[in-house]
Amino acid sequence: MGAWSGVADESNVDNGHWLDQLNPQQREAATAGDGPILVIAGAGTGKTRTLAYRVAFLLEKGVEPERILLLTFTRRAAQEMLNRATNVTRKIAEGRANTTSRGLQPARSGNRNHATRVWGGTFHATANRLLRVYGDAIGLGSNFNIVDAGDAADLINIVRQEQGLTSKEKRFPRKATCLAIYSRCVNSGDSLADVLDGYFPWCADFEDELKALFAGYVDAKQARGVLDYDDLLLFWNELLKSKTLGPKIGGRFDHILVDEYQDTNRVQADILRAMQRDCPNVMVVGDDAQSIYSFRGAEVENILNFPDQFPGTRLITLEQNYRSVQSILDATNAVMLGAKQRYTKELWSNRRSDSKPTLIICRDEDDQTRTIIDRVLEHYEEGIPLQRQAVLFRAGHNADQLEVELTRRNIPYVKYGGLKFLEAAHIKDIMAFLRILENPQDQLAWSRSLNLLDGVGPKTAAAAYEHVRSAGFNPAAIATFSPPTAGRASFAAFASLVVEMTVDGGSGSVSDQLHRIRKIYDPLVEATYEPAEPRLRDLDQLEHIAQRYQSRRAFLDDLVLDPPSSTSDFAGPPMRDEDWLVLSTIHSAKGCEWDVVYVIHAADGVIPSDMATGRDGEIDEERRLFYVALTRARDRLYVSAPLRYYVAGRPMTDRHSYAQLTRFITDDVRRQFDVVSPEPALETEDAITDVDDADSIRSRLRARWD
């Protein structure tokens, strides 16, 4: 996406010693010796830069790249750091070449892409990589399919129906809720009763049923040869418990670096501790004030208690902010002052500014949309490209109206977060076809594909799966299944394609395979969706990204583990040199920065979300989220809130409701902003001293009549 922290490139490392590019604390972190290290890095303090230099330092020291494991929150973050590390090592090598006699090759000249051999990625992606290697050893096999949250919820639903858990007197929790409960249990290690009590009190009546459901879900995953996201971590953790495999896996590495440690959960911390037995050099980096993923089971205690859990920890704190002007930091520091749990860091910057950030109070959402777009265009006219400006919001749909208006005005934008490309039905359908070929046990994939065919519903799909199963999971057996009803034409076409592709499945590139599937799938799309055109274009794009992959397995795994976060991630060359505005959820903006940032919908109920007011600590997390949003800004920061929302109801009864500015902007915080309001006359003013007070005015007015 837009700009990553510390956009400054590493191009000038050859002026003086390369480590001179870092401040003393950063340098201490980058060059620290062995043992556990905790780096507390406030927003914008050069964390990415420090990690990149750390990697470069280790490589320079002679550590083999494949013996370094870099765990990050997204794969994009890992790539960014490794690219920068590569730049640093290249500059060092060039510098060395210049100081040695001409004609000599620089040291390690064959290792230009050294850093690309570092193990880098998310916990989940790393787990996948390890399980593909060691899965056979524990009977997991290496051809498991990974299911995303939607598929996992569907599978839970199947089990639920099998178990007859369709109570009528009181509604059973929805499938997504069931999955969320399950996930929280396994990620936190807490008992079902505690999780229900603490987070899902309205589901407490179903404890026994849920217990049975989850047991059935675990069995169902096993029977179908699939792992969900949580399984990846759980299985990795289990591998490490083995007396033989554990040391092997940990022993693969000499150094483990973990970014965004404040957003790891208990299983991830367990994994790290287990890895550390055989790889003592662990460095974690994070910021307790930016912990925003507890909804996913993240525990900020992991970073707070790191020194206890890893004895001998060296603590390094980065406090100088290189990103924002001081006036923005004044505002963000003020926001954090209100946190129940006080954080110790107070960020400071050398970057001065003569203007405060701006708080824009808007009449309603229309007003907000217009105002934001106007400001964006003003800054654009001043010479700040759209890509260096970002609009941030709490939830994906908060940007709906803005998107409509940007489209109407022909202003290009990309949106990150919110609904994923991959979650669209037509994408999942066609991916299901590939999943069948890769792992014929995957019942979800079969039923998804089969249900598309005319005259095939759940029953027929289940019978067909059973047929394939009894044939030893040979996918080609589908050809000998005869569907009971009409519509045999499309079934026959489907079956013969499966047979064809089973026979020569390995041959042909992934995008070729997709292309062949589309011959029967496109007509189905055209028949199913009214404007089919945009969906077909999505499939074109899918085919386009598939070109980057050598293997079907890698393609499937990547799309689940590292889904394209916006449609522009695979936009073709035409977009390349255009400019576009960035729209992003605050969560997806983590780690990024822009010259100008607009935080919209800063109204109570949105920030903090009205869904997050239940528990202690949830409000604090919303505050941190707001803090993360504000600290993305380098030069200019706008916060806006509509005071009125239209509630789209039935025709003729459209009403509006009134909103309040987010509670995180207290009077103290507000003083750090310039306030723009549509109705300044209605603003309440603090005590004014340059006119008489009301009493003296009244007595003077009265005096005329004396």
Partner DNA sequence: TGTAACTCCCCTCCG
Partner DNA sequence: GGGAGTTACA
SS3 658: strand
Please report how close the Cβ of residue 295 comes to DNA at its closest, in angstroms. Answer: 4
Q: Nearest CA to 642 among 393, 336, 418, 332?
A: 393
> What's the closest the beta carbon of residue 487 comes to DNA, in angstroms?
7
Q: What is the CA radius of gyration of the chain?
A: 28
Q: Whose Cβ is closer to DNA: residue 235's or residue 310's? A: 235
Distances (CA, A) of 572 to 418, 543, 583: 22, 12, 19
Q: How far is the CB of 119 from DNA (least distance, A)?
A: 15
CA distance 178 to 300: 24
Judged by DSSP in three states, 7 sits in coil
The Cα diameter of the chain in Å comes to 110
Q: What is the DSSP string of 453-468?
A: STT--HHHHHHHHHHH
Q: Which is nearer to DNA, 102 or 168 (CB)?
A: 168
Nearest residue (CB) to DNA, 229 versus 580: 229
> Nearest distance from residue 337's CB to DNA, in Å?
23
Which of 272/329 has CB closer to DNA? 272
Cβ-based nearer residue to DNA, 296 or 516: 296
Smallest separation (angstroms) from DNA to the CB of 77: 9
Chain centroid, CA 409 distance in Å: 29
**Which residues, in sequence order, are CB contacts of 290 under 8 Å at separation 6+?**
43, 262, 590, 624, 627, 628, 631
Nearest to DNA of 457, 534 (CB atom):
457
Contact call for residues 543 and 514 (beta carbons, < 8 A): yes
Nearer to DNA, 650 or 702 (CB): 650
The residue with tokens 């989940």 is 124
CB of 68 to DNA, least distance (A): 19
C-alpha torsion sign, points 117, 121, 123, 126 = negative
> From residue 427, how far is each of 423, 542, 556 by CA, in Å?
7, 8, 12
Dihedrals phi, psi of 536, to nearest 5 degrees: -65, -35
Closest CA to 493 of 427, 431, 463, 449: 449
CB of 353 to DNA, least distance (A): 30
238 vs 319, which CB is nearer to DNA? 238
Minimum CB–partner distance for residue 94 and DNA (Å): 35
Nearest approach, Cβ of residue 648 and DNA (Å): 7
Residues that bind DNA (CB under 7 A): 73-74, 122-125, 148-149, 153, 157, 166, 168, 172, 174-176, 183, 187, 229-230, 293, 295-296, 394-397, 416-418, 451, 454-461, 484-485, 487, 561-563, 565, 585, 587-588, 609, 611-612, 648
The span from the CA of 294 to the CA of 284, in Å, is 18
645: part of which helix (H) or strand (E)? strand 644-647
Taking the complex as a whole, the smallest distance from the CB of residue 346 to DNA amounts, in Å, to: 27
Shortest distance, position 462 Cβ to DNA, whole Å:
8
Token readout for 261 is 């440690």
Q: 385 vs 614, which CB is nearer to DNA?
A: 614
Q: Which is nearer to DNA, 122 or 387 (CB)?
A: 122
Q: Which two tokens stand for residue 487?
A: 């519509």
> 3-state DSSP call for residue 68?
strand
DSSP assignments along 236-274, one per residue = HHHHHHSTTHHHHHHTT-SEEEESSGGG-BHHHHHHHHH
For DNA, give the closer residue by CB, 201 or 457.
Answer: 457
Cα dihedral across residues 339, 345, 346, 351: positive or negative:
negative
Burial 65-86 (b: 16+ CB within 10 A, else e): bebbbbbbbbbbbbebbbbbbb
Peptide bond into 608 cis (omega under 30): yes
CB nearer to DNA: pick between 460 and 640: 460
Supply the minimum distance, in Å, between the C-beta of residue 585 and DNA.
4
What CA–CA distance (Å, rounded) separates 28 from 526?
A: 60
Between 74 and 327, whose beta carbon lies closer to DNA? 74
Contact, 602 vs 641, CB < 8 A?
yes
Shortest Cβ 571–DNA spacing (Å): 18
Q: Are 204 and 197 in contact (CB under 8 A)?
A: yes
- Which CB sits closer to DNA, 357 or 417? 417
Written as one letter, the residue type at 531 is P
Min separation Cβ 395 and DNA, Å: 4
